[in-house]
Chain A
């Protein structure tokens, strides 16, 4: 069975936040309210005890499935994983490769 991406490239900011926060809560088993409270400066890798290297791998694989993107080895760096804002900017750049993003 192939997995159909739940969302496509045209995604407004609120929808991206909601999808990404749900995904993080699903992968890490967090209370959805905790994930929904993430802002750009919320710490992820190194800050959340649930997020070890296995969980990072699961998170990235789930992002590939749900967002319909491909994440290469070279894409994965400390900056994208350190904060929610970093991960969000990464997801946005992957979804809209031709658009500039902040």
Chain B
């Protein structure tokens, strides 16, 4: 079910309004979902919602907020920062009265330290950037243009960079170069191997896998039982 949620601006100006997908029936267990980013967000969107449906069927509420600049957001992605997204994740946790967090891939870099929960196949900032920059250099080479990863990163740090169609600002790139997901107390990593199949973010086209959605939901349902 679709709702909206608001992120108050730091300067007290009008709050940003963002989309929220939620299964909220006022139940005791309330899981904040922090989705994968960028291209992986598209590839994992259906999988993510399929996990939420399974949690709902098991009596667990879940909340999937759009971060500013992502999915349906009207905020420019290029203006977003890692700190801003961490703040948004913290505000989301409070707004929805979340009791747990399920952070997916790069979303693990935003997991609020105060919530117990899970990091599913967490992705670090340097690896995320490396993959996106590599896709750009390979595409450039096919087009007969010579770009190196080092040159692109230098441009990214000073001016921002468009990678795979995603326009990242300089502050975001600089922050991602050193950002690592960290398991806070009560948070556990879930490796892809535990889901019994290859990660769906690897696919060239978005796909789904009911068995993997079952496996991830079951880990959470059993932990909350």
Q: A-side interface residues toward B, CB under 8 Å? A: 1, 25-29, 50-58, 60-62, 73, 76
Q: Mark B170-196, 1 if CB is under 8 A from A, else 0.
A: 000000000001010000010100000
* Highest count of chain B CB atoms <10 Å: which of A52, A57, A60: A57
Q: Are A53 and B203 in contact (CB under 8 A)?
A: no
Chain B interface residue bracket vs A: 20 to 34
Listed stretches B22-30, B72-80, B127-135; interface member: B127-135
Question: How far is A62 from B192 in the complex, measured between Cα atoms in Å?
Answer: 13
Residue B17, interface by CB 8 Å: no
Question: How far is A53 from B163 in the complex, measured between Cα atoms in Å?
Answer: 12
Residues of B within 8 A of A73 (CB): 134, 137, 148-149
Known: A1-B181, A27-B202, A73-B149. A58 touches B138 (CB 8 A): no
Question: How far is A56 from B39 in the complex, measured between Cα atoms in Å?
Answer: 14
Q: Are B134 and A1 in contact (CB under 8 A)?
A: no
Question: How far is A29 from B134 in the complex, measured between Cα atoms in Å?
Answer: 20
Question: How far is A83 from B98 in the complex, measured between Cα atoms in Å?
Answer: 50
**Known interface pairs A53-B135, A57-B135, A73-B148; 10 further A-B residue pairs with C-beta atoms within 8 A, sorted by A's residue number:** A1-B119, A26-B202, A27-B203, A29-B198, A54-B204, A55-B204, A57-B134, A61-B134, A76-B137, A76-B138
Known: A53-B139, A56-B138, A76-B138. A61 touches B131 (CB 8 A): yes
Q: Are B122 and A1 in contact (CB under 8 A)?
A: yes
